[in-house]
A = this chain, B = another copy of it.
Amino acid sequence: MKFHTQLAAVLISLVLPSVALAQEIDTGDTAWMLTSSALVLFMLLPGLSLFYAGLVRSKNVLSVLMQCFAIACAMSLLWFAVGYSLVFSGEGAWIGNLDKAFLSGITYNSMTGTIPESVFVVFQMTFIMITPALFVGGFAERMNFAAMLMFSVLWGLVVYIPVAHWVWGGGWLADIGLLDFAGGTVVHVTAGVSALVAALVLGNRRGFQQTPITPHSLTLTVVGAGMLWFGWFGFNGGSSLGANGAAGMAMLVTHLSAAAGSLAWMTIEWLRFRKPSVLGIVTGMVAGLGTITPASGFVGPIGGVVIGLCGGTVCYFATQLIRNGLKIDDSLDVFPVHGVGGALGTILAAFFVSAAYGGAGYAEGMAFTSQLGVQVIGVLATGAYAAIVSYALLKLVGLITPLRVDVDTEQQGLDVAQHGEKGYNI
Protein backbone atom coordinates (compact mmCIF):
# COMPACT_ATOMS: atom_id res chain seq x y z
CA MET A 1 0.00 0.00 0.00
CA LYS A 2 1.38 3.33 -1.03
CA PHE A 3 0.72 5.05 2.25
CA HIS A 4 2.11 2.21 4.27
CA THR A 5 5.33 2.56 2.37
CA GLN A 6 5.23 6.22 2.99
CA LEU A 7 4.67 5.88 6.69
CA ALA A 8 7.51 3.39 6.79
CA ALA A 9 9.69 5.89 4.99
CA VAL A 10 8.79 8.49 7.54
CA LEU A 11 9.60 6.19 10.41
CA ILE A 12 12.88 5.26 8.86
CA SER A 13 13.69 8.86 8.29
CA LEU A 14 13.07 9.56 11.94
CA VAL A 15 15.43 6.88 13.00
CA LEU A 16 18.08 7.70 10.48
CA PRO A 17 18.23 11.45 10.09
CA SER A 18 20.78 11.16 7.35
CA VAL A 19 18.29 9.25 5.24
CA ALA A 20 15.76 11.95 5.95
CA LEU A 21 18.07 14.65 4.78
CA ALA A 22 18.78 12.72 1.69
CA GLN A 23 15.11 12.56 0.68
CA GLU A 24 13.91 15.18 -1.77
CA ILE A 25 11.20 17.63 -0.80
CA ASP A 26 7.82 17.03 -2.43
CA THR A 27 6.20 20.45 -2.75
CA GLY A 28 2.73 18.94 -3.11
CA ASP A 29 3.05 16.94 0.08
CA THR A 30 4.49 20.00 1.77
CA ALA A 31 1.67 22.21 0.56
CA TRP A 32 -0.91 19.83 1.95
CA MET A 33 0.87 19.46 5.28
CA LEU A 34 1.22 23.20 5.68
CA THR A 35 -2.50 23.46 5.02
CA SER A 36 -3.35 20.58 7.31
CA SER A 37 -1.42 22.17 10.14
CA ALA A 38 -3.39 25.36 9.69
CA LEU A 39 -6.62 23.36 9.60
CA VAL A 40 -5.95 21.58 12.88
CA LEU A 41 -5.05 24.87 14.55
CA PHE A 42 -8.33 26.28 13.24
CA MET A 43 -10.19 23.25 14.55
CA LEU A 44 -9.09 24.26 18.03
CA LEU A 45 -9.05 28.06 17.75
CA PRO A 46 -11.70 29.14 17.14
CA GLY A 47 -13.44 25.80 16.32
CA LEU A 48 -13.52 23.71 19.44
CA SER A 49 -13.32 26.69 21.78
CA LEU A 50 -16.45 28.12 20.17
CA PHE A 51 -18.26 24.81 20.13
CA TYR A 52 -17.71 24.56 23.86
CA ALA A 53 -18.24 28.24 24.62
CA GLY A 54 -21.73 28.20 23.15
CA LEU A 55 -22.74 25.37 25.46
CA VAL A 56 -22.00 27.09 28.75
CA ARG A 57 -23.92 29.89 30.42
CA SER A 58 -23.05 33.38 29.31
CA LYS A 59 -21.33 34.14 32.60
CA ASN A 60 -18.71 31.50 31.78
CA VAL A 61 -18.27 31.93 28.05
CA LEU A 62 -14.92 33.67 28.28
CA SER A 63 -13.55 31.22 30.79
CA VAL A 64 -13.97 28.40 28.30
CA LEU A 65 -12.40 30.41 25.50
CA MET A 66 -9.57 31.40 27.82
CA GLN A 67 -8.93 27.85 28.93
CA CYS A 68 -8.69 26.60 25.36
CA PHE A 69 -6.51 29.51 24.34
CA ALA A 70 -4.10 29.23 27.24
CA ILE A 71 -3.79 25.48 26.77
CA ALA A 72 -3.01 26.00 23.09
CA CYS A 73 -0.20 28.40 23.92
CA ALA A 74 1.24 26.44 26.81
CA MET A 75 1.25 23.18 24.88
CA SER A 76 3.03 24.86 21.98
CA LEU A 77 5.91 25.84 24.21
CA LEU A 78 5.93 22.44 25.89
CA TRP A 79 6.20 20.83 22.46
CA PHE A 80 9.01 23.21 21.56
CA ALA A 81 10.88 22.57 24.79
CA VAL A 82 10.70 18.80 25.15
CA GLY A 83 7.55 17.37 23.61
CA TYR A 84 8.62 16.91 20.03
CA SER A 85 11.87 15.38 21.05
CA LEU A 86 10.39 12.99 23.61
CA VAL A 87 7.82 11.75 21.13
CA PHE A 88 9.74 11.58 17.88
CA SER A 89 13.42 11.43 18.72
CA GLY A 90 14.86 8.08 19.79
CA GLU A 91 13.66 4.51 19.67
CA GLY A 92 12.59 3.68 23.23
CA ALA A 93 9.50 1.56 23.74
CA TRP A 94 8.18 3.94 26.41
CA ILE A 95 9.55 7.36 25.66
CA GLY A 96 11.89 9.14 23.25
CA ASN A 97 14.97 11.13 24.15
CA LEU A 98 15.92 14.79 24.49
CA ASP A 99 18.19 15.09 21.48
CA LYS A 100 15.87 17.56 19.81
CA ALA A 101 14.82 19.46 22.92
CA PHE A 102 14.17 23.12 22.09
CA LEU A 103 13.94 21.88 18.50
CA SER A 104 17.67 21.98 18.33
CA GLY A 105 19.12 20.93 15.03
CA ILE A 106 15.96 21.69 13.07
CA THR A 107 16.98 23.98 10.25
CA TYR A 108 15.56 25.29 7.01
CA ASN A 109 16.83 22.13 5.33
CA SER A 110 15.79 19.40 7.79
CA MET A 111 13.44 16.89 6.26
CA THR A 112 10.95 14.33 7.57
CA GLY A 113 10.11 12.06 4.71
CA THR A 114 9.12 14.28 1.80
CA ILE A 115 8.31 17.36 3.86
CA PRO A 116 10.42 19.83 5.80
CA GLU A 117 10.83 18.75 9.39
CA SER A 118 9.56 22.17 10.50
CA VAL A 119 6.22 21.30 8.95
CA PHE A 120 6.13 17.93 10.64
CA VAL A 121 6.87 19.65 13.95
CA VAL A 122 4.00 22.10 13.51
CA PHE A 123 1.53 19.49 12.36
CA GLN A 124 2.22 17.25 15.33
CA MET A 125 2.20 20.26 17.63
CA THR A 126 -1.39 20.97 16.77
CA PHE A 127 -2.29 17.55 18.15
CA ILE A 128 -0.80 18.14 21.58
CA MET A 129 -2.58 21.50 21.59
CA ILE A 130 -6.03 20.17 20.92
CA THR A 131 -5.99 17.07 23.10
CA PRO A 132 -6.04 18.72 26.53
CA ALA A 133 -8.38 21.38 25.17
CA LEU A 134 -10.88 18.60 24.60
CA PHE A 135 -11.14 17.77 28.28
CA VAL A 136 -11.94 21.37 29.20
CA GLY A 137 -15.51 20.29 28.50
CA GLY A 138 -15.43 17.88 31.41
CA PHE A 139 -14.85 20.46 34.13
CA ALA A 140 -16.37 23.53 32.47
CA GLU A 141 -17.91 26.29 34.60
CA ARG A 142 -16.18 25.36 37.85
CA MET A 143 -12.45 24.72 37.60
CA ASN A 144 -9.99 27.23 38.95
CA PHE A 145 -7.93 28.63 36.08
CA ALA A 146 -4.56 28.27 37.77
CA ALA A 147 -5.23 24.64 38.61
CA MET A 148 -6.56 24.03 35.12
CA LEU A 149 -3.40 25.34 33.52
CA MET A 150 -1.08 23.46 35.85
CA PHE A 151 -2.98 20.22 35.36
CA SER A 152 -3.02 20.60 31.59
CA VAL A 153 0.70 21.20 31.27
CA LEU A 154 1.56 18.29 33.52
CA TRP A 155 -0.93 16.14 31.65
CA GLY A 156 0.68 17.04 28.36
CA LEU A 157 4.03 16.01 29.74
CA VAL A 158 3.08 12.85 31.59
CA VAL A 159 0.10 11.55 29.62
CA TYR A 160 0.08 12.87 26.06
CA ILE A 161 3.78 12.74 25.33
CA PRO A 162 4.38 9.13 26.37
CA VAL A 163 1.19 7.85 24.76
CA ALA A 164 1.96 9.66 21.51
CA HIS A 165 5.39 8.05 21.57
CA TRP A 166 3.91 4.60 22.14
CA VAL A 167 1.61 4.90 19.15
CA TRP A 168 3.25 7.30 16.69
CA GLY A 169 6.83 7.63 17.83
CA GLY A 170 7.82 4.00 17.35
CA GLY A 171 6.94 2.87 20.90
CA TRP A 172 5.46 -0.41 22.07
CA LEU A 173 1.97 0.07 20.66
CA ALA A 174 3.44 0.84 17.25
CA ASP A 175 5.54 -2.28 17.59
CA ILE A 176 2.59 -4.57 18.21
CA GLY A 177 0.84 -3.03 15.21
CA LEU A 178 -1.85 -0.79 16.69
CA LEU A 179 -3.85 0.93 13.97
CA ASP A 180 -4.54 4.48 15.06
CA PHE A 181 -4.41 6.72 12.05
CA ALA A 182 -5.12 10.13 13.55
CA GLY A 183 -5.60 9.70 17.26
CA GLY A 184 -8.47 7.48 18.39
CA THR A 185 -6.39 6.41 21.36
CA VAL A 186 -3.73 9.13 21.58
CA VAL A 187 -6.24 11.96 21.38
CA HIS A 188 -9.82 10.91 21.98
CA VAL A 189 -9.52 8.08 24.49
CA THR A 190 -6.98 9.90 26.63
CA ALA A 191 -8.91 13.18 26.59
CA GLY A 192 -12.28 11.52 27.14
CA VAL A 193 -11.14 9.42 30.06
CA SER A 194 -9.35 12.35 31.68
CA ALA A 195 -12.43 14.52 31.35
CA LEU A 196 -14.46 11.91 33.19
CA VAL A 197 -11.90 11.62 35.95
CA ALA A 198 -11.76 15.39 36.31
CA ALA A 199 -15.55 15.62 36.44
CA LEU A 200 -15.60 13.05 39.23
CA VAL A 201 -12.77 14.63 41.19
CA LEU A 202 -14.21 18.13 40.95
CA GLY A 203 -17.82 17.15 41.49
CA ASN A 204 -20.93 18.32 39.70
CA ARG A 205 -21.80 21.94 39.02
CA ARG A 206 -24.19 23.50 41.53
CA GLY A 207 -27.71 22.92 40.30
CA PHE A 208 -26.78 20.09 37.93
CA GLN A 209 -29.88 17.99 37.31
CA GLN A 210 -31.98 20.37 39.46
CA THR A 211 -32.39 23.36 37.20
CA PRO A 212 -31.77 23.21 33.48
CA ILE A 213 -28.30 24.52 32.67
CA THR A 214 -28.97 25.67 29.14
CA PRO A 215 -26.46 26.61 26.43
CA HIS A 216 -26.20 30.36 26.14
CA SER A 217 -25.75 30.40 22.39
CA LEU A 218 -26.33 27.38 20.21
CA THR A 219 -25.52 29.61 17.28
CA LEU A 220 -21.92 29.72 18.45
CA THR A 221 -21.93 25.98 18.99
CA VAL A 222 -23.14 25.29 15.47
CA VAL A 223 -20.53 27.64 14.05
CA GLY A 224 -17.90 25.84 16.06
CA ALA A 225 -19.23 22.52 14.80
CA GLY A 226 -18.85 23.61 11.18
CA MET A 227 -15.29 24.65 11.95
CA LEU A 228 -14.59 21.29 13.54
CA TRP A 229 -15.78 19.44 10.48
CA PHE A 230 -13.62 21.62 8.24
CA GLY A 231 -10.59 21.35 10.50
CA TRP A 232 -10.97 17.61 10.87
CA PHE A 233 -10.11 17.28 7.20
CA GLY A 234 -6.64 18.42 8.18
CA PHE A 235 -6.60 16.31 11.33
CA ASN A 236 -7.35 13.07 9.53
CA GLY A 237 -6.38 14.01 5.97
CA GLY A 238 -3.05 15.36 7.13
CA SER A 239 -2.21 12.24 9.10
CA SER A 240 -1.06 10.55 5.90
CA LEU A 241 1.76 13.13 5.89
CA GLY A 242 1.30 13.85 2.21
CA ALA A 243 -1.10 14.66 -0.61
CA ASN A 244 -1.78 11.11 -1.65
CA GLY A 245 -4.45 8.46 -1.97
CA ALA A 246 -4.50 7.86 1.74
CA ALA A 247 -5.13 11.53 2.40
CA GLY A 248 -7.95 11.52 -0.11
CA MET A 249 -9.55 8.42 1.28
CA ALA A 250 -9.12 9.68 4.84
CA MET A 251 -10.96 12.84 3.88
CA LEU A 252 -13.70 10.95 2.11
CA VAL A 253 -14.40 8.51 4.93
CA THR A 254 -14.10 11.26 7.52
CA HIS A 255 -16.72 13.23 5.69
CA LEU A 256 -19.05 10.27 5.28
CA SER A 257 -18.72 9.32 8.92
CA ALA A 258 -19.54 12.84 10.05
CA ALA A 259 -22.66 12.87 7.89
CA ALA A 260 -23.74 9.43 9.02
CA GLY A 261 -23.13 10.17 12.70
CA SER A 262 -25.16 13.36 12.42
CA LEU A 263 -28.10 11.65 10.82
CA ALA A 264 -27.99 8.77 13.29
CA TRP A 265 -28.27 11.11 16.28
CA MET A 266 -30.90 13.22 14.55
CA THR A 267 -32.99 10.17 13.78
CA ILE A 268 -32.91 8.89 17.35
CA GLU A 269 -34.05 12.26 18.70
CA TRP A 270 -36.70 12.52 16.05
CA LEU A 271 -38.10 9.13 16.96
CA ARG A 272 -37.97 9.78 20.69
CA PHE A 273 -39.12 13.38 20.92
CA ARG A 274 -40.53 14.24 17.47
CA LYS A 275 -38.06 17.11 17.56
CA PRO A 276 -34.66 16.76 15.93
CA SER A 277 -32.43 19.33 17.60
CA VAL A 278 -29.53 21.19 16.10
CA LEU A 279 -27.39 20.41 19.13
CA GLY A 280 -28.25 16.79 18.51
CA ILE A 281 -27.18 16.81 14.90
CA VAL A 282 -23.87 18.51 15.61
CA THR A 283 -23.15 16.23 18.54
CA GLY A 284 -23.73 13.29 16.23
CA MET A 285 -21.28 14.91 13.84
CA VAL A 286 -18.59 15.11 16.50
CA ALA A 287 -19.32 11.51 17.44
CA GLY A 288 -18.96 10.46 13.80
CA LEU A 289 -15.74 12.38 13.45
CA GLY A 290 -14.22 11.11 16.68
CA THR A 291 -15.14 7.54 15.83
CA ILE A 292 -13.67 7.55 12.33
CA THR A 293 -10.44 9.21 13.46
CA PRO A 294 -8.40 6.11 14.30
CA ALA A 295 -9.72 4.27 11.25
CA SER A 296 -9.71 7.05 8.73
CA GLY A 297 -6.64 6.17 6.70
CA PHE A 298 -7.33 2.45 6.66
CA VAL A 299 -10.99 1.93 5.74
CA GLY A 300 -13.06 2.46 2.59
CA PRO A 301 -16.24 4.44 1.93
CA ILE A 302 -18.62 1.80 3.23
CA GLY A 303 -16.53 1.49 6.35
CA GLY A 304 -16.80 5.24 6.76
CA VAL A 305 -20.59 5.24 6.63
CA VAL A 306 -21.01 2.27 8.97
CA ILE A 307 -18.50 3.62 11.47
CA GLY A 308 -20.33 6.95 11.46
CA LEU A 309 -23.69 5.33 12.09
CA CYS A 310 -22.24 3.30 14.95
CA GLY A 311 -20.51 6.36 16.38
CA GLY A 312 -23.65 8.49 16.35
CA THR A 313 -25.76 5.78 17.91
CA VAL A 314 -23.41 4.47 20.56
CA CYS A 315 -22.31 7.92 21.68
CA TYR A 316 -25.96 8.93 21.99
CA PHE A 317 -26.70 6.18 24.46
CA ALA A 318 -23.38 6.64 26.25
CA THR A 319 -24.32 10.29 26.81
CA GLN A 320 -27.66 9.29 28.31
CA LEU A 321 -25.95 6.80 30.56
CA ILE A 322 -23.32 9.15 31.98
CA ARG A 323 -25.51 12.23 32.22
CA ASN A 324 -28.91 10.92 33.18
CA GLY A 325 -28.10 7.43 34.35
CA LEU A 326 -24.99 7.88 36.47
CA LYS A 327 -25.64 11.60 37.04
CA ILE A 328 -22.02 12.49 36.41
CA ASP A 329 -21.55 16.08 35.35
CA ASP A 330 -19.03 15.59 32.55
CA SER A 331 -20.42 18.94 31.58
CA LEU A 332 -20.01 18.96 27.81
CA ASP A 333 -20.09 15.16 27.45
CA VAL A 334 -16.44 14.69 26.58
CA PHE A 335 -16.20 11.10 27.74
CA PRO A 336 -19.36 9.71 26.11
CA VAL A 337 -18.61 11.45 22.82
CA HIS A 338 -14.83 11.48 22.49
CA GLY A 339 -13.76 8.73 24.84
CA VAL A 340 -16.41 6.25 23.75
CA GLY A 341 -16.20 7.32 20.10
CA GLY A 342 -12.41 7.04 20.01
CA ALA A 343 -12.46 3.61 21.61
CA LEU A 344 -15.25 2.37 19.38
CA GLY A 345 -13.50 3.55 16.23
CA THR A 346 -10.21 2.00 17.27
CA ILE A 347 -11.95 -1.33 17.64
CA LEU A 348 -14.05 -1.02 14.50
CA ALA A 349 -10.87 -0.33 12.56
CA ALA A 350 -9.96 -3.97 13.09
CA PHE A 351 -12.94 -4.95 10.96
CA PHE A 352 -13.07 -2.31 8.31
CA VAL A 353 -9.38 -2.24 7.50
CA SER A 354 -10.12 -5.53 5.80
CA ALA A 355 -9.86 -5.34 2.04
CA ALA A 356 -13.13 -7.26 1.98
CA TYR A 357 -14.89 -4.08 3.15
CA GLY A 358 -12.92 -1.80 0.87
CA GLY A 359 -10.22 -1.04 3.43
CA ALA A 360 -6.50 -0.88 2.92
CA GLY A 361 -6.03 -4.46 4.07
CA TYR A 362 -4.28 -5.99 7.10
CA ALA A 363 -0.57 -5.49 7.55
CA GLU A 364 1.55 -8.50 6.81
CA GLY A 365 1.15 -11.15 9.45
CA MET A 366 -2.07 -9.62 10.79
CA ALA A 367 -5.57 -11.05 10.51
CA PHE A 368 -8.88 -9.95 11.94
CA THR A 369 -8.59 -11.56 15.37
CA SER A 370 -4.99 -10.63 15.96
CA GLN A 371 -5.69 -7.07 14.87
CA LEU A 372 -8.73 -6.89 17.11
CA GLY A 373 -6.65 -8.03 20.03
CA VAL A 374 -4.10 -5.33 19.37
CA GLN A 375 -6.78 -2.70 19.09
CA VAL A 376 -8.37 -3.70 22.39
CA ILE A 377 -5.00 -3.62 24.08
CA GLY A 378 -4.41 -0.17 22.65
CA VAL A 379 -7.69 1.18 23.97
CA LEU A 380 -7.34 -0.37 27.41
CA ALA A 381 -3.72 0.58 27.89
CA THR A 382 -4.13 4.22 26.87
CA GLY A 383 -7.43 4.58 28.70
CA ALA A 384 -6.22 3.08 31.94
CA TYR A 385 -2.97 4.99 31.85
CA ALA A 386 -4.75 8.30 31.23
CA ALA A 387 -7.26 7.63 34.01
CA ILE A 388 -4.74 6.76 36.67
CA VAL A 389 -2.27 9.51 35.86
CA SER A 390 -4.99 12.13 35.54
CA TYR A 391 -6.31 11.23 38.95
CA ALA A 392 -2.86 11.46 40.49
CA LEU A 393 -2.12 14.77 38.79
CA LEU A 394 -5.37 16.32 39.95
CA LYS A 395 -4.68 15.30 43.52
CA LEU A 396 -1.19 16.73 43.21
CA VAL A 397 -2.35 20.03 41.76
CA GLY A 398 -5.03 20.22 44.43
CA LEU A 399 -2.29 20.36 47.05
CA ILE A 400 -0.91 23.52 45.47
CA THR A 401 -4.00 25.49 44.53
CA PRO A 402 -7.75 24.83 44.85
CA LEU A 403 -9.05 22.73 41.97
CA ARG A 404 -12.49 24.25 42.13
CA VAL A 405 -13.57 27.86 42.45
CA ASP A 406 -15.52 28.90 45.53
CA VAL A 407 -19.31 29.12 45.62
CA ASP A 408 -19.46 32.87 45.05
CA THR A 409 -17.27 32.65 42.00
CA GLU A 410 -19.32 29.83 40.57
CA GLN A 411 -22.53 31.82 41.07
CA GLN A 412 -21.14 35.07 39.77
CA GLY A 413 -19.52 33.30 36.85
CA LEU A 414 -15.89 32.64 36.12
CA ASP A 415 -15.60 35.40 33.54
CA VAL A 416 -15.88 38.30 35.91
CA ALA A 417 -14.43 36.56 38.93
CA GLN A 418 -11.38 34.91 37.39
CA HIS A 419 -10.72 36.92 34.25
CA GLY A 420 -12.12 40.37 35.03
CA GLU A 421 -14.28 40.49 31.91
CA LYS A 422 -17.81 39.96 30.68
CA GLY A 423 -18.64 38.11 27.48
CA TYR A 424 -21.29 40.53 26.31
CA ASN A 425 -22.27 44.17 26.76
CA ILE A 426 -25.05 44.36 24.24
A-to-B contact residues, CB < 8 Å: 1-3, 25-32, 34-35, 37-39, 41-42, 44-47, 49-50, 53, 57-58, 61-62, 65-66, 69-70, 72-74, 76-77, 80, 102-104, 106-110, 115-119, 121-122, 125, 145, 214-220, 222-223, 225-227, 229-230, 233-234, 237, 242-249, 251-252, 255-256, 258-260, 262-263, 266, 273, 275-279, 281-282, 285, 300-302, 305, 358, 360, 418-426
**Provided the pairs A34-B237, A46-B227, A276-B419 are in contact, do residues A245 and B28 lie with their beta carbons within 8 angstroms?**
no
- Number of this chain's copies in the assembly equals 3
* Chain B residue nearest to A355 in the complex (CB): B107
The answer to whether A70 touches B302, judged by C-beta atoms less than 8 angstroms apart, is no
In the bound complex, how far is the Cα of B76 from the Cα of A339, in angstroms? 26
In the bound complex, how far is the Cα of B193 from the Cα of A356, in angstroms? 44
Partner of A248 from the list B30, B53, B76, B262 (CB cut-off 8 Å) is B30
The answer to whether B219 touches A69, judged by C-beta atoms less than 8 angstroms apart, is no
Most buried by B among A110, A116, A220, A246: A116
* Chain B residue nearest to A61 in the complex (CB): B219
CB distance from A147 to the nearest CB of B (A): 13
In the bound complex, how far is the Cα of B244 from the Cα of A109, in angstroms? 9
In the bound complex, how far is the Cα of B245 from the Cα of A252, in angstroms? 26
Q: Is the interface of A mostly helix, strand, loop or mixed?
A: helix
The answer to whether B41 touches A230, judged by C-beta atoms less than 8 angstroms apart, is yes
- Show 16 residue pairs from A and B whose CB-CB distance is below 8 angstroms, ordered by the A residue: A2-B109, A3-B108, A28-B29, A28-B243, A41-B230, A50-B223, A65-B278, A76-B259, A77-B259, A80-B305, A108-B360, A110-B245, A116-B245, A122-B252, A125-B255, A277-B421
Find chain B residues with CB under 8 A from A25 CB: 244-245
In the bound complex, how far is the Cα of B219 from the Cα of A66, in angstroms? 10
In the bound complex, how far is the Cα of B35 from the Cα of A47, in angstroms? 17
Find chain B residues with CB under 8 A from A229 CB: 41, 45
CB distance from A355 to the nearest CB of B (A): 9
CB distance from A35 to the nearest CB of B (A): 5
The answer to whether A122 touches B255, judged by C-beta atoms less than 8 angstroms apart, is yes
The answer to whether A245 touches B108, judged by C-beta atoms less than 8 angstroms apart, is yes
The answer to whether B223 touches A46, judged by C-beta atoms less than 8 angstroms apart, is yes
The answer to whether A278 touches B419, judged by C-beta atoms less than 8 angstroms apart, is yes
Find chain B residues with CB under 8 A from A110 CB: 245
In the bound complex, how far is the Cα of B35 from the Cα of A58, in angstroms? 35
CB distance from A15 to the nearest CB of B (A): 21
The answer to whether B243 touches A30, judged by C-beta atoms less than 8 angstroms apart, is yes
Q: Given contacts A2-B108, A110-B245, list 20 more A-B pairs with CB under 8 A.
A: A1-B108, A30-B247, A31-B243, A34-B243, A38-B237, A41-B229, A66-B281, A69-B282, A69-B285, A73-B263, A74-B263, A76-B258, A80-B256, A107-B249, A109-B245, A115-B248, A119-B247, A122-B248, A214-B425, A219-B424
Find chain B residues with CB under 8 A from A234 CB: 38
* Chain B residue nearest to A361 in the complex (CB): B108
In the bound complex, how far is the Cα of B50 from the Cα of A220, in angstroms? 10
In the bound complex, how far is the Cα of B423 from the Cα of A58, in angstroms? 13
